[in-house]
Structure 1
Amino acid sequence: MVFRFLIRILANNEQLVQKLSESYPMRRAAQVVVRVMFSSKNLIEEHRLREKLSPEQFRALMSEVAANFQNQLKQAQENIKRKMK
């Protein structure tokens, strides 16, 4: 309950939100999310997923997307560590 209250107060602080949005980790996180979205879209188009998939094919595709996301996240973490040094 108290945690929600604090988050609400911080989220409504316009200056804090502005500073966070200009920070490198937040911008990098947004870049990773956009990259994963576009790579997932390309993956779907590549496999011609307009047609129905079997459950096994869907699981395989989702595991591939998850692996891609994890790789992108690791790369982003390494980039952040290099920038901080």
Structure 2
Amino acid sequence: MVLRFLIRLLANNEQLVQKLSESYPMRKAAQILVRAAFQSKNLIEEKGLNKMLTPEEFRETMKKVARNFQNQIKQASDEFRQKK
């Protein structure tokens, strides 16, 4: 209950949200998410997976997307450590 109140209070603080949005980790996280979304979309279009999939095909595709996303996060983490 207290945590929810604090999060709501911080989220409604416009100056704090602005400063966080300008920070390097937040920008990098947004870049990673956008890159993963576009790569997933391209992968789906490349493989012709925008048709109806069987549950097994869907599961395999989601595993590939998850692995790709984990690799992107690891890569960004390594870049962040190198910049320090």
Please give the TM-score of this superposition, normalised by the length of structure 2: 0.95
* RMSD across aligned positions (CA): 0.8
Aligned to 1:10: 10
Q: Distance in 2 between matches of 1:33 and 1:4?
A: 25
Q: Which has the higher contact order (CA 8 A, sep 6+)?
A: 1
Aligned to 2:35: 35
Post-superposition shift, 1:50? 2.6
Alignment of 1:4-83 (within 5 A): 4-83=4-83
- The count of aligned residue pairs is 84
Q: Distance in 1 between matches of 2:15 and 2:81?
A: 26
- Percent identity over the alignment? 68
Q: Alignment partner of 1:53: what SS?
A: coil
Please give the TM-score of this superposition, normalised by the length of structure 1: 0.94
Q: Alignment partner of 1:49: what SS?
A: coil
Q: Alignment partner of 1:73: what SS?
A: helix
Q: Which runs of 4+ in 1 moved over 6 A?
A: none
| Structure 2 runs not aligned, ≥5 long | none
**Letter matched to residue 70 of structure 2:** Q
Provide Cα deviations, 1:4-34, integer angstroms capped at 9, x if missing partner.
0000111111111111000000000000000
Q: Alignment partner of 1:7: what SS?
A: helix
Q: Distance in 1 between matches of 2:13 and 2:56?
A: 46
Deviates more, 1:46-55 or 1:20-29: 46-55
